[in-house]
Amino acid sequence: MSEAAVNALIDIRGVSKSYLSGSVETPVLHGVDLRVERGDFVSIMGQSGSGKSTLMNILGCLDQASGGAYLLDGADTRTLDRAQLAAIRNRSIGFVFQSFNLIKRMSVAENVALPLIYAGIGRARAHARAVAELERVGLGEFARRTPSQLSGGQQQRVAIARALVTDAPLLLADEPTGNLDTHTSDDIMTGFQALNRERGITIVLVTHEADVAAYSRRLVRLKDGQVMYDGPAVEGLRQLAASHASRDGARP
């Protein structure tokens, strides 16, 4: 194994994915290659049906590829069983979803503590670490509330605290600002930037908004299940804007 392969946190080689709908096989991803080094901040953009959510699910070990290889931190995910995949999600990956996905019956602190509970940490210690993590995202005083008593932005910060509480090196965010207003989105994205810079957390997020992608360092654009662009975010977004402008300009 080369030096670079050891360093890559995410190493996807020729990954394809197709779904069976009835008897018809619908391909979604066609041989996607993607390497993400530690400490990178990547946005994945693409239109609906481009396969970006599917790619995200595979990256998060929520779903498995139909073909190709996915090495996460050097470990081949194809050889792992469901319990081992769960352990990887627990320890190595933090998830942030568009719809926050907090458990309504539980208090904010219990939501944040849940990954630690699944990691086998005792209630008291898990709770203490959850409260500490909530304080880092500025929500320490809301620990005892239920998610429904919080605003959307606050709920998303709780979700971020939950994603970070196990000290996972990788944060995966699927449209994290999709349900938030512009101002709150900016807050969340600034927070992501800080996490990436200050705590060295590798972030991969899926978005369809250029404004959100602009916070990242690198941009991957998908179209019809294939990588169209993979490079610096600034350059990619410029190209994207230009293509939109030319398309708009072409219209009468």
Partner 1 sequence: MNLIQVLIESLRSMAANRLRTALTMLGIVIGIASVVLLLAIGDSMQRFIGKELQMLGTNMLYVMPGGDRTAGQRAREGKVAALTLDDAEALNALPSLTGAAPALQGSFKLSAGNETLNSTVSGVTPAMFAIRNWQLAQGTMFGEADIRASARLVVIGQKVADQFFYRLDPLGRYLRIENVAFQVIGVLAGEGRQIDGTDLSELVLVPITAASANLVKTPFPQNVHYVAAQGRPDVALPDAIADIEDVLRSRHRIRLDDPDDFRIQNLSTFAETANKISAGVALLLGLIGAISLLVGGIGIMNIMLVSVTERTREIGIRMAIGARPGDVLLQFLAEAVVICLAGGLVGIAIAAAGAALITRLADFEVYLTLSAVIVACGFSTVVGIFFGFYPARRASRLLPVDCLRYE
Tokens found for residue 109: 């602190």
Is the separation of the CB atoms in 206 and 220 below 8 Å? no
Residues 6+ apart with CB under 8 A from 235: 219
- d(C-alpha 191, C-alpha 138), whole Å: 11
Secondary structure class of 147 (helix, strand, coil): helix
Q: How far is the CB of 201 from partner 1 (least distance, A)?
A: 16
Q: What CA–CA distance (Å, rounded) separates 17 from 99? A: 24
Vertex 20, ends 14 and 26: CA angle to 5°?
A: 55
Query: Does residue 70 touch partner 1 according to CB under 8 A?
Result: no
Residue pair 18/28 in contact by the 8 Å Cβ criterion: yes
Token representation of residue 79: 């050889």
- Count the helix, strand and coil residues of the chain and give each as a percent rounded to the nearest 5: 45, 25, 30
Is 241 one of the binding residues for partner 1 (CB under 8 A)? no
Q: Of the ranges 3-11, 33-41, 103-111, 217-225, which one interacts with partner 1 (CB under 8 A)? A: 103-111
For partner 1, the closer CB: 53 or 196:
53
Nearer to partner 1, 105 or 251 (CB): 105
Q: Which of 16, 37, 80, 97 touches partner 1 by CB under 8 A?
A: 97
Q: How far is the CB of 101 from partner 1 (least distance, A)?
A: 5
Between 157 and 162, name the residue whose CB sits nearer to partner 1.
162
Contact status: 105 vs partner 1 (CB under 8 A): yes
The pair of three-digit structure tokens given for residue 143, joined into one six-digit string:
């620990």
In the complex, least distance from residue 28 CB atom to partner 1, rounded to whole angstroms = 12
Residue type at position 158: V
Binding region for partner 1 (CB under 8 A) out of 21-29, 55-63, 135-143, 176-184: 55-63
Q: Is residue 114 involved in binding partner 1 (CB under 8 A)? A: yes
Binding of partner 1 by 90 (CB under 8 A): yes
Cβ distance to partner 1 smaller for residue 88 or 131: 88
225 is an interface residue for partner 1 by CB under 8 A: no
73 burial level (CB within 10 Å; 0-12, 13-18, 19+): middle
Residue ranges in contact with partner 1 by CB under 8 A? 57, 60, 62-63, 82-83, 86-87, 89-91, 95, 97, 101-103, 105-106, 114-115, 117-120, 122-123, 162, 166
